[in-house]
Amino acid sequence: MKIAYLDCFSGISGDMFLGALVDAGVPFSVLQDAVAGLGLEARLELRRVDRSGIDSAKVDVVTLQGEIAETAHAGHHDHEHSHGDHLHSHSHEDGHSHGHSHDHAHDHAQDKPHVHGRSLSVIQGIIRNSPLPVEVQATALRAFQLLGHAEAKIHNVPVESIHFHEVGAVDAIADIVAVSAGCHWLTSERGVERWICSPLNVGGGHVHCAHGTFPVPAPATLELLRDLPVYSSGPKKELVTPTGAALLRALDVTSSEFPAMTVSATGYGAGSRDLPGKPNVLRLVLGEASVTAAKLQEQNHSNVQERVGVIETTIDDATPELLSYVADRLLAAGASDVYRTPVQMKKGRTGMQLTILCSPAKAETLQKMVFAETTTLGLRYREEQKIILSRSFVSADTEWGAVRIKIGMLADGEVVNYAPEFEDCRLIAEEHGVPLKQVMQAALTAYLLKETRA
């Protein structure tokens, strides 16, 4: 299984994420095209910088006037709500702007004029009306939705009343959409199946908010980081931005120390400042999960847990042909699994319960597809905790060719499940005129013999 690991030893922000993607091999044009499709008065520029001796990629959002949006937008960190007493802004107590990210600059709200920000619905409209692939839109929309709900919870106001100054600015919209596009490229072109992040260094010190002084991380950022391991180290600066935290959540990352993997590419994305004694970079590592390394790596004995979205609806007026077609469409759109269960409905009717399992990031897209493709008038959605085995592939050589064996492991590296990849066996069976069951048995025998010798 191909994985992407975000090493957040110096935090994470939108611009750091963009730089790491480019440095790890994502074509810069993919990010440029994503921003161009938004119709915003901005573009991306790429340059190389040195961060404490580490050569890194730095991506800037530049206005049509040629200004770096970070500079043009400095001072607008306040998150404004429609309620007059819900103006949220904060600045570092040493008076400096954010140590590494243009999407989280700070200044004193009382020194700046009151500027009405973009509402969540306006930002959603910009993204939905763009020509971006639905998968890119879904990730970006989820990131902003998470930001909005975090602010709404902190201030106890409806999410509809939230307005974004800093995170709703052109540079942050560009950051979130471009990161979403880059991650989608890694999935579609490089086969990345899972995103993992290290424990997050949130930095230290305090931030000054309109409602008082708070320790780092700021309240909304901390809400977004719930269920992820965090720690504080190094400079007294805020190292994890709301944008960075929201992107992690939108990608449904799991967290671990450096995973067992065979590394294929690395990338370093720079923040805006060179912090004393600490490279202000985000490291992205791409590779294949390694069974051999997993056996040698010391890990805890708990299995990986992640959130899974569950979409359900019951239908009594659709043909089996239609439901089969819908299931295929949902799987092609990114559902993890789709299944149907016979149920008895009102008035004694026999119906079908359609259940879709998916990443929460894909839930909105798949819900729309259910409404568009079926006759249902309503559905249920919830998120549950999923406990999964670590998975990887090894190759087993048969007399007709190589077959991939899917491995399922506990967190300590113990192999508890293994099975030949069906599609590999099917192709061999068809090509050589051999019974499918014979190919599958031969692949398992070759794998077990290889393991015994190892």
In terms of pLDDT, which residue wins out, 369 or 167?
369
* Cα 12 from chain centre: 13
Range 337-347 average pLDDT: 92
Is CATH 3.30.565.10 the classification given to domain 390-453?
no
pLDDT exceeds 60 at position 404: yes
Which phi-psi region, left, alpha or beta, contains residue 174 (left: φ > 0; alpha: ψ -120 to 50)?
alpha
One-letter amino acid of 275: L
3-class secondary-structure state, position 429: helix
Nearest-5° angle of CA 335, CA 3, CA 246? 70
In the predicted structure, residue 336 carries a pLDDT above the cut 80: yes
pLDDT at site 441? 94
Average pLDDT over residues 250-254: 89
Q: In the chain, where are the structural domains located?
A: 2-289, 304-388, 390-453
SS3 call for 20: helix
CATH assignment of 304-388, among 3.20.20.80, 3.30.70.20, 3.40.50.300, 3.30.70.1380: 3.30.70.1380
Distance CA(207)–CA(349), nearest Å, equals 60
Alpha-carbon Rg for the chain, nearest whole angstrom, is 24
pLDDT at 394: 80
Separation between Cα atoms, residue 165 and residue 112, nearest integer Å: 12
pLDDT at 95 over 60: no
Report whether 343 contacts 352 (CB < 8 A): yes
**Which residue would you say has higher pLDDT here, 336 or 66?**
336
pLDDT at 24 over 50: yes
Confidence of residue 88 (pLDDT cuts 50, 70, 90): very low
226 has a pLDDT exceeding 90: no
Closest CA to 291 of 270, 312, 261, 336: 261
DSSP of 177-243, one letter per residue? HHHHHHHHHHHHHH-EEEEEEPPEE-B-SEEEETTEEEESSPHHHHHHTTTS-EE--SSSSB-B-HH
* pLDDT tens, position by position, 111-145: 333 344 678 888 888 999 999 998 899 899 889 88
Cβ atoms of residues 428 and 404 within 8 Å: no
Measured distance CA(233)–CA(242) in Å, rounded? 18
pLDDT given for residue 291 in this prediction? 55
Give percent above pLDDT 90 in the chain: 43
Average pLDDT over residues 79-89: 33
204 vs 368: which has the higher pLDDT: 368
Distance CA 383, CA 308 (A): 6
Q: What is the pLDDT of residues 171-182, one digit of tens each?
A: 889 999 999 999
Q: 132: part of which helix (H) or strand (E)?
A: none
* Average pLDDT, integer, range 304-324: 89
User: Residue 377 corresponds to which tokens in the numbers above?
Assistant: 């008038």
**Angle (deg, nearest 10), helices 170-190 and 120-128:** 40
Which residues have a Cβ under 8 Å from the Cβ of 442 and sit 6 or more positions away? Answer: 398, 399, 400, 403
Residue 349 has pLDDT above 90, yes or no: no
Closest-CA residue to 79 (of 116, 34, 123): 116
pLDDT digits (tens, 9 = 90+) for 181-200: 999 999 999 999 889 999 99
Query: In this predicted structure, what is the pLDDT of residue 40?
Result: 85
What span, in angstroms and rounded, lies between the C-alpha atoms of 56 and 365? 35
Residue 252 pLDDT exceeds 50: yes
